[in-house]
Amino acid sequence: MVLPDCSIADAHDVAERVRSELATALGAGTLPDFTVSVGLASADTGEALSEVIDRADAALFKAKQLGRDRVVIAGEPAPGGLAPIAA
C-alpha cells in the first residue's frame, strides 16, 4: 500500500486500523483464521522505490519474527529494547 503525503505516524494508524478491522471480521467467524503483519517505511526525497520497498520488507519480516499480527516501522526500535529495524 502506498500512502502519498502521509506521515509515518498516520501510515501506522491506517495499517493498525486495517489490522484491527480484519481481526474483528475474523472474530465474527466469517473468515478463516489469519493474522495481519505490516512493515512500514517512509521514503526520502530522491530515494529509489526499490530501497523503500526493501526497508518495508525488512520491517514486515521483523513483524513476523516478533510474533505476527502487528505493525512495525523500519528504523524504529523494536519492542523489548531490540536494535532498530533496518533493511
Where along the chain do its domains lie?
8-78
Show the CA angle centred on residue 24, arms to residues 23 and 27, nearest 5°.
Answer: 90
Torsion angle, alpha carbons of 5, 8, 11, 15, to 10: 160
Residues 6+ apart with CB under 8 A from 48: none
Show contacts of 21-28: CB within 8 Å, 24+ apart: 23/69
Q: How far does CA 61 lie from the centroid of its chain?
A: 9
* Sequential pLDDT tens for the chain (87 residues): 788 889 999 999 999 999 898 888 877 777 777 888 999 999 988 999 999 999 999 999 999 999 888 999 998 886 655 555 554
What's the pLDDT score for residue 32? 78
Neighbours of 87 (CB within 10 A): 16
The DSSP call for residue 67 is: T
